[in-house]
Amino acid sequence: MGKSEGSVAQETWHGHVTALTVAPEYRRLGLAAKMMNILEEVSDRKQCFFVDLFVRVSNEIAVDMYKWLGYTVYRRVLEYYSGDPDEDAFDMRKALSRDKEMKSVIPVKEPVRPEDVE
């Protein structure tokens, strides 16, 4: 599932991956990549600047997959996921054609808190 959000007239306009899951028996068939590609294409047609998503820092398989798809770690969000213990997330991004200068993917050096995420 995905959506567009932010301010259309500003560089915050982006596609967002709300959730992506593939049943274990259908993994490694390229389905996640196809779904991501569709969201990226739709977001690009809607003139978004980038696509972003949040992923658990511990989910190395997903992090590696997103990197393989061209996403970079934009910032770390401390204690984004509740649990015992709480877990940090990576906010990962991929610039789209509207962001010619790639401003949207310049990494933030210091971690942020969830309340600081727009």
Q: What is the pLDDT of residues 62-88, one digit of tens each?
A: 999 999 999 999 999 999 999 989 999
Q: At 38, list the tokens.
A: 């569709």
What is the value of pTM for the model shown? Answer: 0.93
CATH of range 2-116; options 3.40.630.30, 1.10.357.10, 1.10.10.1100, 3.40.50.1860: 3.40.630.30
11-25 tens-digit pLDDT: 999 999 999 999 999
Over 90: is that where the pLDDT of 53 sits?
yes
Q: What is the pLDDT of residues 34-43, one digit of tens each?
A: 999 999 999 9
- Matching residue, tokens 């390229």: 30
| Residue 72 DSSP SS3 | strand
- Position 26: which residue type? Y
Segments making up each domain of the chain, as ranges: 2-116
How is residue 15 written in tokens? 């596609």
